[in-house]
Structure 1
Amino acid sequence: MEYVTPKDKATEWGITQRRVEILCGDGRIPGAYRLGRVWAIPKDAKKPLDGRTRKAKESQKGDC
């Protein structure tokens, strides 16, 4: 499996590098793990839903 850095995913997803690191730390990106001070993210990882959007809130209601 190939891995990329948070900087690469931030560019791909159109968000900041820090936001990607927070998503990794919260366990919201499956397969991501830490190598010292740097996160390794699977190259094929999908962007998690933003919990602040209506779409995400509606999907969370269905989970209960």
Structure 2
Amino acid sequence: MNYISIRQASEIWGISSRRVQVLCTEGRIPGVTRLGKSWAIPSHAKKPADARIKSGKYITTD
């Protein structure tokens, strides 16, 4: 399996490298693995959907 770095993923997906790090930490990229201090992202991985709040309203799930 081929892997790409955080920097390569950020360039492909058009988002910051810090945002890719957060997505890796949250486990939102399928197949991502941790190699020491760096992340290995599968080259076929798709950009996850943005799950941040867009409406300006917080929705409770109680």
Q: TM-score, normalised by structure 2?
A: 0.81
Measured against aligned partners, the alpha-carbon deviations of 1:28-57 in whole angstroms (never above 9, x if no partner) come to: 000001111100000000000001366xxx
The gaps in structure 2 that reach 5 residues or longer are 55-62
Q: TM-score, normalised by structure 1?
A: 0.79
Identify the structure with bigger relative contact order (alpha carbons < 8 Å, sequence gap 6+).
2
- Whether 1:5 aligns to 2:5 is yes
Specify the structure having the higher radius of gyration (Cα).
Answer: 2
Number of corresponding residues = 54
Instruction: Choose between structure 1 and 2: higher helix proportion.
Output: 1
Moved over 6 A (4+): none
Quick one: percent identity of the two aligned structures? 52
- Whether 1:46 aligns to 2:46 is yes
Residue of structure 1 in register with 2:21 after alignment: 21
